[in-house]
């Protein structure tokens, strides 16, 4: 195992050289005009990584079901757990992820936390998504 580790270290240094070779290798069949045009049209790294994280959060069945449920009605954690048939802990962890991407908001009434979609865009996204998957059957 130790020997494998040292081999990987050696490989790691070789990467720079390899990457230069790779770059040359990548630039063979390019349609320069198209490539430049597409490059300029590309979104910023920030927008891409934020949207990717948003999609990733919605890419889990449990969280997706939570988001869809909240697009229909405001619900507390316990009711969400009941609707989905999963534990409260799962719902809470899922809501945390959805919260961190600002997909849901919540208000607290005593000890009960009522969650809802934060934005109508999310509802549109879900609608568009479901329309897409339901169409191609």
Partner DNA sequence: ACATCGTATGAACGCCTATTCACACGTTCA
Partner DNA sequence: TGAACGTGTGAATAGGCGTTCATACGATGT
Applying CB under 7 A, which residues contact DNA? 4-5, 8, 11, 14-15, 18, 25, 28-29, 56, 59-63, 76-78, 86-90, 92-97, 106, 110-113
Q: Which residues are paired to 104 by β-bridges?
A: 117
- From the list a second copy, DNA, none, pick the one residue 15 interacts with, judged by a Cβ distance below 5 to 8 Å according to partner type: DNA
Alpha-helical (H) ranges within 1-137 are 2-26, 32-41, 45-58, 61-72, 77-84, 88-100, 120-135
Cα–Cα distance for residue pair 113/105, rounded to 1 Å: 10
Cα angle 104, 106, 87; round to 5: 80
- From the list DNA, a second copy, none, pick the one residue 5 interacts with, judged by a Cβ distance below 5 to 8 Å according to partner type: DNA
Which residues of this chain interact with a second copy, rule CB under 8 A? 22, 25-31, 34-35, 37-39, 41-43, 47-61, 64-65, 68-69, 72-73, 75-76, 78-79, 81-83, 87-88, 102, 112, 119, 121-122, 124-125, 128-136
Nearest-approach distance from CB 11 to DNA, in angstroms = 6
Q: Which residues are paired to 116 by β-bridges?
A: 105
Nearer to DNA, 29 or 137 (CB): 29
Torsion of CA 73, 71, 98, 79, to 10 degrees: 30
Nearer to DNA, 18 or 47 (CB): 18
- From the list a second copy, DNA, none, pick the one residue 113 interacts with, judged by a Cβ distance below 5 to 8 Å according to partner type: DNA
Cα–Cα distance for residue pair 71/74, rounded to 1 Å: 8
- From the list DNA, a second copy, none, pick the one residue 38 interacts with, judged by a Cβ distance below 5 to 8 Å according to partner type: a second copy
């Amino acid at each position: 195992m130790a020997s494998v580790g040292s081999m990987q270290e050696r490989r790691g240094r070789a990467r720079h050289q390899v990457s230069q070779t790779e770059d040359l290798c990548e630039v063979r069949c390019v349609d320069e005009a198209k490539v430049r045009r597409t490059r300029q049209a590309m979104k910023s790294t920030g927008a891409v990584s934020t949207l990717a994280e948003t999609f990733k959060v919605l890419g889990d069945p449990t969280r997706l079901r939570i988001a869809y449920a909240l697009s229909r009605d405001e619900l507390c954690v316990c009711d969400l757990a009941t609707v989905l048939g999963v534990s409260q802990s799962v719902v809470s962890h899922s809501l945390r992820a959805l919260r961190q991407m600002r997909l849901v908001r919540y208000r607290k009434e005593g000890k009960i936390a009522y969650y809802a979609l934060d934005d109508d865009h999310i509802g549109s996204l879900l609608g568009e998504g479901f329309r897409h998957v339901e169409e191609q059957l």
